Structure 1
Amino acid sequence: MATLWYPAESPGRKRASYMTPKESELLLKSGGITGVPADTLSRTRTNAFTDAGPAGRRRGLPLVVLSPGHTKPRSELTALAEDLASRGYVVAAIDHTYENVATTFPDGRVATCVTCGIEKDPAWWGKLAKSRAADVSFVLDRLTGARPRWKGARLIDPSRIAMAGHSVGGASTIAAMLGDSRIRAGADVDGTTEVRIPARGLARPFLFLGRSAAYTPGGGDAAATWERDWKQLTGWKRWLLVTGAEHTSFTDLGVLADQLGIDTGAGIPGARAMDITRRYVAAFFDLHLRKRSQPLLDKPSPRYPEVEHCSPETKTCR
């Protein structure tokens, strides 16, 4: 299953739902969240409409593919997707079936998480990333191939395609870029990587965006995977860390947890973390898919003092 967001000619009549009641129930249950009505997340409002006609000129819109974290639905990336669509992108978020607590299909069938109970080691996560890369290529085929499955596919510029993901979705971006040359730029948001970049390197633009507690250069196993990959990234690259962020801070779940009064341990409000995520991810794609200058990516910003620019070579952040 995939959800598409895109610029619209005008608002539609029907608001897009955030997720189904069953998805809400199982996601809350998986997080051990009690005292909250099971359908809470299915009653969450989005800013998108299901019946809005796409706007744009033929091959005028860049495409960004989003991949969520393990056990999490594609809807956890709605705020990021809506923001990118509002800036003129087509966005496709993918549910990787059987890796999420609940994926609802149009016929009402619900696929639950088969991989949740599997014992995992680094090799397993690497295999998962490669599987997700295949999913991404499949979706790109259906959106940009000779017989596209979306009525607005003519708006997509197939020469301007990028990918971002959270957690293993972010780690899968490297695997997807290695396997599919159509992906011109990639962003890993707080995801430890397991698929190694070969000796020839990866020359396309790449962004690491994560929490300082886990990904400070020289700071531990998670950061070590980024340091390993950093050496093999031979094109434009940045390593940005957000002070006070936790793993969920980069997704809708950080915002929703604050609204529900759930303490995630973050030292930064969910709404602020989401603002940072949106702004920096959009800046990255605007630079590399639209060739628009982005000083924000070149040095620390007084507007976003939580964001540090890191140099793994010197193991420093500023």
Structure 2
Amino acid sequence: MTKFLLAASAALLAVPATAQNRIDLVRPDAPELAAHGDHVVGVTTMSFTREGVPDVARATEDGVETYDREITVEIWYPAAEGTEPGGSYTALLRDGMTEVQLAGRAARDADPAMEGDFPLVLVSHGYPGNRFLMSHLAENIATKGYVVASIDHPDSTYDDMGAFGSTLVNRPRDQAFVLARMAELDDPIGAITDGDTAAVIGYSMGGYGALIFSGAGLTEDFRASRYAPPQELLEINAMGADTMADLPDDRVKAVVAIGPWGRNRDAWNAEGLGAIETPLMLIAGGVDDVSGYDAIRSIFDETVGTERHLLTFDNANHNAAAPMPAPEESWAVSESLGYAPFDHYADPVWDTVRMNNVTQHFVTAFLDLHLKGEAEKARYLDLVPDSADAVWDRAEDGTPNEADSYWAGFPERTARGLRFETLAQGE
């Protein structure tokens, strides 16, 4: 019996040589706006350099040097007519060593569309993470007419994990820098990019950065906490600092923060969060024990300077919504980690593809509304807060009857376990 169990376990952990690891799956029961758009997309890799920045990760009590910060960015964009869809990505797993192949719809280095004026979306991963962690969302959005730039943040990737203080200091500054560089691109991708109309999507520490980038300066207590790097380097992101005054960028029309870290450690207070004026969507797992679900709700309550939404996946943890489906290779125990990195991507309650599809639906509505001015998309965000209270009452042809209050875009019986709440500016 013991030998049988060991053999069965080995079989379960074995990885097929033909692992597909698709990032572009859309389930038959997905909400309406999760479907891919009309554009075939291309993807390319670029590198930008922030010159002469403090080397936070290697700062000591004796001093800090400056260095050139190389930032790799994966860029998705609408491709030229006739482009054959499909391609792959080579990415690293959470262990920072194992290479995996991801399959998607984007064509590597395809010619960009000949014309267009497509809004810009920045994607910012967690700590640790990399530019492919939310590739499913980036690729999906690009098919709908956006240029999407997903950032590898130095000192914060799987194979380049530096001191946490570097992430605290640099995350919003990296986001602002990449926005500026993408907006000034002088090439065929730049020719179709509307850099004056942008959004930021951040997960975990990416969400932390997005909130600071939007104007939420850090509290004095947090800047003096054990998380702060030496040499008072975190003061650059301090509430009320001159260095914060010019950080919010009028080109950013919408922010999506997924499981944002920080309020659970009092990085902000109500005054700091109240400074955000950009439309905000928060997405969280209802039992997030990394960023703290109650803390994320506090962000929702305290960002009174703008209209904001909170999408909750009941009983999901910190991996709600953001990570791609766990690559098959992640099911095996990693020698360097001592455990299977599967848990970095997956949730024990929710199917990842399901969460990805729901996120694609809501993010599409939110971006189309605020970046493209498609007012009709507002109906997808005007919902009965608890989906369990929504009533399905449709005629045979699908037309809603008077009593119908089911979530727009969701097929019958598919919105359970979700909550979507909205607060107006000033509330």
TM-score of the superposition, structure 1-length normalised?
Answer: 0.76
Q: How does 1:248-259 map to 2 (within 5 A)?
A: 248-256=319-327
Among 210, 213, 216, the residue aligned to 1:176:
213
User: Are the aligned partners of 2:258 and 2:322 in contact in 1 as well (CA < 8 Å)?
Assistant: no
Q: Secondary structure at the match of 1:74?
A: coil
Deviation at 1:52, TM superposition (A): 1.1
Q: Within 2, Cα distance between the matches of 1:243 and 1:11?
A: 42
Work out which of the two has the higher radius of gyration on C-alpha atoms and give 1 or 2. 2
Q: Within 1, Cα distance between the matches of 2:108 and 2:292?
A: 42
User: Are the aligned partners of 2:287 and 2:293 in contact in 1 as well (CA < 8 Å)?
Assistant: no
- Mapped pair 1:164 → 2:224: no
Partner amino acid for 1:201?
A
- Mapped pair 1:19 → 2:56: no
User: Are the aligned partners of 1:255 and 1:269 in contact in 2 as well (CA < 8 Å)?
Assistant: no
Among 251, 275, 295, the residue aligned to 1:224:
295
CA deviation vs aligned residue, 1:65-95 (integer Å, no higher than 9, x gap): 0000111111011100000000100000001
CA deviation vs aligned residue, 1:103-138 (integer Å, no higher than 9, x gap): xxxxxxxxx2123xx5xxxxx5xx734411111111
Q: Within 2, Cα distance between the matches of 1:297 and 1:286?
A: 12
User: Are the aligned partners of 1:249 and 1:266 in contact in 2 as well (CA < 8 Å)?
Assistant: no
- Mapped pair 1:153 → 2:193: no
- Name the residue aligned to 2:104: 46
Partner amino acid for 2:197?
R
Among 86, 94, 97, the residue aligned to 2:143:
86
What are the ranges of 5 or more consecutive residues in structure 2 without an aligned counterpart? Answer: 1-71, 216-246, 333-341, 388-406
- Mapped pair 1:241 → 2:330: no
- Mapped pair 1:212 → 2:286: yes
User: Are the aligned partners of 2:124 and 2:131 in contact in 1 as well (CA < 8 Å)?
Assistant: yes
Among 350, 356, 361, the residue aligned to 1:279:
361
Partner amino acid for 2:195?
P
Deviation at 1:11, TM superposition (A): 6.0
CA deviation vs aligned residue, 1:143-169 (integer Å, no higher than 9, x gap): 113xx2653112122331110111111
Q: Within 1, Cα distance between the matches of 2:253 and 2:85?
A: 34
Deviation at 1:170, TM superposition (A): 1.5
Partner amino acid for 1:251?
A
- Name the residue aligned to 2:228: none
Partner amino acid for 1:296?
Y
Q: Within 1, Cα distance between the matches of 2:316 and 2:299?
A: 23
Q: Within 1, Cα distance between the matches of 2:370 and 2:381?
A: 12
CA deviation vs aligned residue, 1:154-204 (integer Å, no higher than 9, x gap): 212233111011111122111112223221210101122355363762222
RMSD: 3.0
Q: Name the stretch that deviates more: 63-72 or 285-294.
A: 285-294
Deviation at 1:240, TM superposition (A): 1.2
What are the ranges of 5 or more consecutive residues in structure 1 without an aligned counterpart? Answer: 31-37, 103-111, 119-123, 314-318
Partner amino acid for 2:107?
F
Q: Secondary structure at the match of 1:71?
A: coil
Distance 1:151 1:180, change over 3 A: farther
Q: How does 1:78-117 map to 2 (within 5 A)?
A: 78-102=135-159, 112-115=160-163
Q: Secondary structure at the match of 2:188?
A: coil
User: Are the aligned partners of 1:12 and 1:51 in contact in 2 as well (CA < 8 Å)?
Assistant: no
Deviation at 1:265, TM superposition (A): 4.5
CA deviation vs aligned residue, 1:1-35 (integer Å, no higher than 9, x gap): 00100111146579654234xx34xx2468xxxxx
Q: Secondary structure at the match of 2:132?
A: helix
Partner amino acid for 1:285?
L
User: Are the aligned partners of 2:312 and 2:420 in contact in 1 as well (CA < 8 Å)?
Assistant: yes
- Name the residue aligned to 1:135: 174
- Name the residue aligned to 1:290: 372
Q: Secondary structure at the match of 1:76?
A: coil
Deviation at 1:273, TM superposition (A): 0.9
Q: Within 2, Cα distance between the matches of 1:70 and 1:150?
A: 31
Deviation at 1:257, TM superposition (A): 6.3
User: Are the aligned partners of 1:143 and 1:150 in contact in 2 as well (CA < 8 Å)?
Assistant: no
Among 191, 209, 216, the residue aligned to 2:260:
191
Q: Secondary structure at the match of 2:214?
A: helix
Distance 1:129 1:55, change over 3 A: farther
Q: Secondary structure at the match of 1:192?
A: coil
Q: Within 2, Cα distance between the matches of 1:186 and 1:180?
A: 11
Q: Secondary structure at the match of 2:363?
A: helix
User: Are the aligned partners of 2:259 and 2:318 in contact in 1 as well (CA < 8 Å)?
Assistant: yes
Q: Secondary structure at the match of 1:198?
A: helix
- Mapped pair 1:307 → 2:418: yes
Deviation at 1:225, TM superposition (A): 4.9
Distance 1:298 1:12, change over 3 A: same
Q: Within 2, Cα distance between the matches of 1:186 and 1:171?
A: 11
User: Are the aligned partners of 2:73 and 2:152 in contact in 1 as well (CA < 8 Å)?
Assistant: yes
Q: Within 2, Cα distance between the matches of 1:70 and 1:259?
A: 18
Distance 1:68 1:11, change over 3 A: farther
**Which structure has the highest helix share of the two?**
1
